[in-house]
Amino acid sequence: MKKISIAIDGPSAAGKSSIAKIVAKKLDYVYIDTGAMYRCVGYYCLQNNIDLNNETAVSAILKNIKITMDSNNRVYLNEHDVSDQIRQDEVSMSASLVSSYQDVREFLVKQQRQMSNVGGVILDGRDIGTVVLPDAKLKIYQNASVETRAKRRFLENKQRGLSADLETIKKDIEQRDYQDMNRKISPLKKADDAIVLDTSNLSIDEVVNEVLKLAKQREMEG
């Protein structure tokens, strides 16, 4: 069977990355964490006191950013492991903001397409099926209720030893949903040919099995 490209889109904290990582391992695919790439840009700006609301200033620092990932899903910014730091809520909001800038999107989309040329890849984000890989063989729009997503992010933060307040996280998710869906450049939306997968009442195993079933169907179709 021929390996395919899989695009998983959806709002913040919908569990896209968790599912994509597991599915990639089971299929022996390459997982490309596109959300982490935007988080790296936001994190770099925060660490270097770059005004996130100044699009020109953010665009100017892109030349200083090098993002790499390893087989263990660790994320490196200029050769420093920032896998945990970029998951903080403050970084999540900064990622949403910088992702609205055209230069940032072009900078990262170019890299994402280059990384996908090998085939047998799975990417998750906000605009994978609509912009980054519009010809992906399998497109999934993964969603869950705001309440479910807030609880998931709350537990993730607690497990990482990060400060966590459920109501604050819920408000942050609602704000990010609005930002992502209403930005002018590549807003979050379901691709016309994407399969909607609501994970609110599904376990991780149930979601993984559903994605695997869909992927194998597409592989057989060639």
CATH code of 14's domain: 3.40.50.300
Could you list the residue range(s) of the whole structural domain that residue 131 is in? 5-206
Q: Was 17 annotated as part of a binding site?
A: yes
Q: Residue 83 has which token pair?
A: 């896998």
Q: What pLDDT shows up at residue 222?
A: 65
What is the distance, to the nearest Å, from the Cα of residue 185 to the centroid of all Cα atoms in its chain?
Answer: 16
Q: Is residue 221 one of the residues assigned to a domain?
A: no
Q: What pLDDT shows up at residue 60?
A: 98
Q: Is residue 96 one of the residues assigned to a domain?
A: yes
Q: Was 10 annotated as part of a binding site?
A: yes
Q: Is residue 190 one of the residues assigned to a domain?
A: yes
% of the chain surpassing 90 pLDDT: 70
Q: Is residue 217 one of the residues assigned to a domain?
A: no
Q: Was 16 annotated as part of a binding site?
A: yes
Q: Is residue 133 one of the residues assigned to a domain?
A: yes
Q: Is residue 216 one of the residues assigned to a domain?
A: no
Q: Was 186 annotated as part of a binding site?
A: no
Please indicate, yes or no, whether the overall pTM of this predicted structure exceeds 0.85. no
pLDDT tens figures, 16-63: 989 999 999 999 998 988 889 999 999 999 999 999 999 999 999 999
Average confidence (pLDDT) over 206-221:
95
pLDDT tens figures, 78-105: 999 999 999 888 998 899 899 889 999 9
Q: Is residue 102 one of the residues assigned to a domain?
A: yes
Q: What pLDDT shows up at residue 51?
A: 97
Structural domains of the chain, count: 1
pLDDT tens figures, 137-193: 999 999 999 999 999 989 988 888 887 899 999 999 999 899 889 988 888 999 999
Q: Was 11 annotated as part of a binding site?
A: yes
Q: Was 35 annotated as part of a binding site?
A: no
Q: What is the 3-state secondary structure (H, E, C) of the chain?
A: CCCCEEEEECCCCCCHHHHHHHHHHHHCCEEEEHHHHHHHHHHHHHHCCCCCCCHHHHHHCHHHCCEEECCCCCEEECCEECCCHHHCHHHHHHHHHHCCCHHHHHHHHHHHHHHHCCCCEEEEECCHHHHHCCCCCEEEEEECCHHHHHHHHHHHHHHCCCCCCHHHHHHHHHHHHHHHHHCCCCCCCCCCCCEEEECCCCCHHHHHHHHHHHHHHHHHHC
Q: Is residue 215 one of the residues assigned to a domain?
A: no
Q: Was 12 annotated as part of a binding site?
A: yes
